[in-house]
C-alpha cells in the first residue's frame, strides 16, 4: 500500500470512529436493529451500493452483482441486554442495553471496507457481498441462520468474519483451521421439593440442598467422564431460590452452559448430565424439570480460507503477530451457520492492552477499541486482494 493510499484509508478513520460512537450511543437488541439498519443503509447508499433487507433488520449489499466469483464479508449489528457502567461521552442512552461485545466496532469496520472497495470497484475481477447480520447474541440470536434460510449465500464461494478479543494482545491476529468456537447447549433445571420453616428441615424436601449437590456433581462430569482429552466445558451460571433467611423454599432454579467441539464428546456429556441430575434428585427426594436446549453449532474454519486469512493478515500485522495461539475457544458464534454452508474463516483481532486489565467482552466496563478499526479494515481488504489475486488493492 502506497503512502498516498494509506493516507486515503487514514482519512476515512475519523468518520468510522464517529460512526462507531453513534452506534454505541444507540444500541439495539437482536431483530430490533431498526435505527442501526437505517444508519448502515445510508452509509452504503452514499457509496453507491443498493442494499437489500435481510432477516428483518439486516442488510445485504453486493459490490459487483453477478461479476465473477463472490466472497462474503460479515459483521454483526446487535447489542446485549445489559447495563453500561462506563462514563464515556458516547455511552449507551438506552437503559439495560449496551454494545458490550464490540458489534458496533465490527459494523464500523465493514462500513469502512465498503467505502474503500467502492473506490476501486471496477478493478476487481469478482464480487464482494457485504453481510450486515442482526441478532448474533444468543439471548435473541440466530440471525445468521435466518439469513442463510433466506438465500444470502446463493452464489457465494467463501465467507469471512472477525471479532475483537481482549483476551489476545493488541496488535495480534489469531486464526486456526478446523474447530474454532464451540457448540453450545443450555441446561435449564427446576428443582421441586417441599418448603417449610428453616428450623424444621426434617419436615421439608430442601431444593437448595439438592441443587448444591447437583452443582457439585455436574462440575465433576468433564474431569471424570471425558478425561484428559478434554473437549468440553460445563458451568452452572445461575442458582436462584428462596425469599428470606428462615423459610426453606419449595423450588430452586439452575441454568448452565455446555460447550463442546466434537459430537461424540457432546453425546457422552449430554447423557451424563441427565443421569447425574436425575440420580441426585432421586437421592435427595426431590423432583426435577429437566430441559437441555441445543444452541449454535461448532464453528469450523475451512483450512484454505484460514490459510488465506493468515497470509493476508501477515501483510497487516507482520508474520510473528499472526498465530493460532489460544484457539479453539469455548465461546460460541452463529457465524457457524455460514460456515456450515460455505468454506469460511472466522478470525480474531487482539484487543488486550499491554498494561493493566482490559475488560472482557460482555463486561459492563467493556468498550470496543477504536484503534482496531484501521487494521480490521485493512485485513478484510487484504483478504479480498489475496482472493482475487490483486497485488495492490487500494
How many domains is the chain built from?
2
Same domain, 224 and 101: no
Is residue 88 domain-shared with residue 187, that is, in the same domain?
A: no
Cβ partners under 8 Å of residue 355, min gap 6 = none
Query: What's the 3-state SS for the chain?
Result: CCHHHHHHHHHHHHHHHHHHHHHHHCCCCCCCCHHHHHHHHHHHHHCCCCCEEECCCEEEEECCCCCCCEEEEEEECCCECCCCCCCCCCCCCCCCCECCCCHHHHHHHHHHHHHHHHHCHHHCCCEEEEEEECCCCCCCCCHHHHHHHCCCCCCCCEEEEEEEEEEEECCCEECCCEEEECEEEEEEEEEECECEECCCHHHCECHHHHHHHHHHHHCCHHHHHHCCCCCEEEEEEEEEECCCCCEECCEEEEEEEEEECCHHHHHHHHHHHHHHHHHHHHHCCCEEEEEEEECCCCEEECHHHHHHHHHHHHHHHCHHHEECCCCCECCCCCCHHHHHHCCEEEEEEEEECCCCCCCCCCCCCCCCCHHHHHHHHHHHHHHHHHHCCCCCCC
Out of 265, 294, 323, a domain closes at: 294
Same domain, 127 and 202: no
Q: Are residues 177 and 187 in the same domain?
A: no
Q: Which residues of the chain have pLDDT under 50?
A: 1-6
On whether both 278 and 330 belong to a single domain, the answer is no
Other Cβ atoms less than 10 A from the Cβ of 245: the count is 6
Assess if residue 374 is contained within a domain: yes
The reported pLDDT for the residue numbered 7 is 54
Task: Indicate whether 188 belongs to any domain.
Answer: yes
Residues 9 and 89 in one domain: yes
Query: pLDDT value at position 394?
Result: 63
The rounded distance, in Å, linking the Cα atoms of 42 and 104 is: 16
Task: Write down the pLDDT at residue 264.
Answer: 93
Same domain for 171 and 191, yes or no, is no
| Residue-range definition of the domain harbouring residue 362 | 3-181+298-387
Count Cα atoms within 13 angstroms, Cβ side, for 213. 17
CATH number for the domain including 235? Answer: 3.30.70.360
Instruction: Indicate whether 169 and 306 sit together in one domain.
Output: yes
Question: What pLDDT score does 221 carry?
Answer: 94
Does the residue 393 lie in any domain? no
Taking only the tens place, the pLDDT of each residue in 278-302 is 999 999 999 999 999 999 999 999 9
pLDDT of the residue at 283: 98
168 and 25 part of one domain: yes
141-152 in b/e burial notation, b at 16+ Cβ within 10 A?
Answer: bbbbbbbbebeb
Q: Are residues 346 and 375 in the same domain?
A: yes
Among 294, 326, 355, the domain boundary falls at 294
Instruction: State whether 135 and 55 are in the same domain.
Output: yes
pLDDT, tens only, 287-341: 999 999 999 999 999 999 999 999 999 999 999 999 999 999 999 999 999 999 9
| 71 in any annotated domain | yes
Query: Structure pTM?
Result: 0.94
Where is the domain boundary, 227, 260, 294?
Answer: 294
Assigned domain for 371 exists? yes
Whether residue 281 is found in the same domain as residue 304: no
User: Which CATH number fits the domain that encloses residue 362?
Assistant: 3.40.630.10
> Is residue 303 in some structural domain?
yes
In a domain, 356, yes or no: yes
**Which residue matches cell numbers 464517529?**
18
The pLDDT assigned to 1 comes to 38
Residue 394 lies in a domain: no
Amino acid at each position: 500500500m502506497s503512502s498516498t493510499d494509506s493516507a486515503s484509508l487514514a482519512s476515512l478513520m475519523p468518520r468510522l470512529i464517529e460512526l462507531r460512537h453513534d452506534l454505541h450511543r444507540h444500541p439495539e437488541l437482536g431483530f430490533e436493529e431498526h435505527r442501526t439498519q437505517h444508519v448502515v443503509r445510508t452509509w452504503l447508499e452514499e457509496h453507491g451500493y443498493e442494499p437489500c433487507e435481510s432477516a428483518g433488520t439486516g442488510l445485504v449489499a453486493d459490490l459487483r452483482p453477478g461479476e465473477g466469483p463472490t466472497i462474503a464479508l460479515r459483521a454483526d449489528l446487535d447489542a446485549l441486554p445489559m447495563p453500561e457502567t462506563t462514563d464515556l461521552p458516547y455511552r449507551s442512552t438506552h437503559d439495560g442495553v449496551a454494545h458490550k461485545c464490540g458489534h458496533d466496532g465490527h459494523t464500523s469496520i465493514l462500513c469502512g471496507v465498503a467505502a474503500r472497495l467502492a473506490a476501486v470497484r471496477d478493478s476487481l475481477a469478482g464480487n464482494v457481498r457485504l453481510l450486515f447480520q442482526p441478532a448474533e447474541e444468543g439471548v435473541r440470536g440466530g440471525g445468521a441462520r435466518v439469513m442463510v434460510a433466506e438465500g444470502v449465500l446463493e452464489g457465494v464461494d467463501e465467507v469471512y468474519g472477525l471479532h475483537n478479543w481482549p483476551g489476545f494482545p493488541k496488535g495480534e491476529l489469531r486464526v486456526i483451521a478446523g474447530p474454532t468456537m464451540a457448540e453450545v447447549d443450555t441446561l435449564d433445571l427446576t428443582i421441586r421439593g417441599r418448603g417449610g420453616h428453616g428450623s424444621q428441615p426434617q419436615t421439608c424436601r430442601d431444593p437448595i440442598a439438592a441443587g448444591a449437590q447437583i452443582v457439585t456433581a455436574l462440575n465433576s462430569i468433564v474431569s471424570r467422564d471425558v478425561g484428559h482429552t478434554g473437549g468440553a466445558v460445563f458451568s452452572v451460571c445461575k442458582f436462584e431460590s428462596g425469599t428470606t433467611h428462615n423459610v426453606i423454599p419449595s423450588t430452586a432454579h439452575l441454568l448452565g452452559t455446555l460447550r463442546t467441539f466434537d459430537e461424540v464428546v457432546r453425546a457422552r456429556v449430554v447423557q451424563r448430565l441427565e443421569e447425574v441430575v436425575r440420580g441426585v434428585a432421586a437421592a435427595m427426594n426431590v423432583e426435577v424439570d429437566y430441559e437441555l436446549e441445543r444452541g449454535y453449532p461448532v464453528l469450523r474454519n475451512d483450512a484454505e480460507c484460514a490459510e488465506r486469512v493468515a497470509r493476508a493478515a501477515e501483510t497487516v500485522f507482520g508474520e510473528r503477530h499472526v498465530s493460532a495461539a489460544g484457539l479453539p475457544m469455548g465461546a460460541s458464534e452463529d457465524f457457524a451457520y455460514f460456515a456450515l454452508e460455505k468454506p469460511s474463516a472466522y478470525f480474531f483481532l487482539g484487543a488486550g492492552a499491554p498494561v493493566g486489565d482490559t475488560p472482557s467482552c460482555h463486561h459492563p466496563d467493556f468498550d470496543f477499541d477504536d484503534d482496531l478499526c484501521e487494521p480490521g479494515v485493512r485485513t478484510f481488504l487484504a483478504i479480498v486482494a489475496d482472493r482475487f489475486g490483486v497485488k495492490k488493492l487500494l
